[in-house]
Amino acid sequence: MNTNSAPTDRTRIRRLAELASYEQTSLHAVIDAAYLCHIAFQDAKGTHCIPTACWRQGEYLYIHGSNGGRLTKILTSGIQACVTITHLDGLVLARSAFNHAMNYRSAVIYGCFEKVPDEADKHQALALFMEKLAPGRQAQCRPGNDKEMAATTIMRIALNEAAVKIRTGGPQDDDEDMGIPVWAGVLPFAQVHTQPVVDSLCNVATPDYVREWVK
């Protein structure tokens, strides 16, 4: 277990604790590899879990939303939220059905979201989001205008109460199952960049970041 700070009662991983990490570098790596997160919260209508785009800046995870959206209204009210990110890296096939597993990288973040009120900070945050999607894109596309920015809320949650859980490697079979004549190993998963599809009305040269996408 790698640790930078002691886990809280909410973040302490008890099941397979040897897979836990409370190290900020591990947390940053899981977030930076993700385009989506899931945000769980509760209101008068029940418990909800909403997927949304995310990115990291320093020690905060950022999201954005419409000013009138339910997610925005609830998260900016100071309610407690739980953010999760998961990357599936492989199916682990063991000799025993109950020893099958998955290889994964996951993060859980607890806390309250806060609104980013400063206009300059909002512009900077969205520029970083665009750079995450496609490095170099921000300098080429039209930035948000005053009307678009006024209708958008940027929110962030601190990364000071979080835990990471990572499993790698092959199956872990019991000694008595090692003689079972069945294939054992890992079926890997990977995120693959496929060939870009140009818009039919696009008549500009292909930029470097698009040409490099499949590489």
Question: How does the average pLDDT of the chain come out, rounded?
Answer: 93
**Amino acid of residue 183:** W
Range 2-189 classified under CATH 1.20.1250.20: no
- pLDDT tens track for 133-191: 999 999 999 988 999 999 999 999 999 999 999 999 999 999 999 999 999 999 999 99
- pLDDT tens track for 1-49: 455 567 888 989 888 888 888 999 999 999 999 999 999 999 988 999 9
The answer to whether 21 touches 3, Cβ cutoff 8 Å, is yes
Give me the pLDDT at residue 7, please.
86
- pLDDT tens track for 101-130: 999 999 999 999 999 999 999 999 999 999
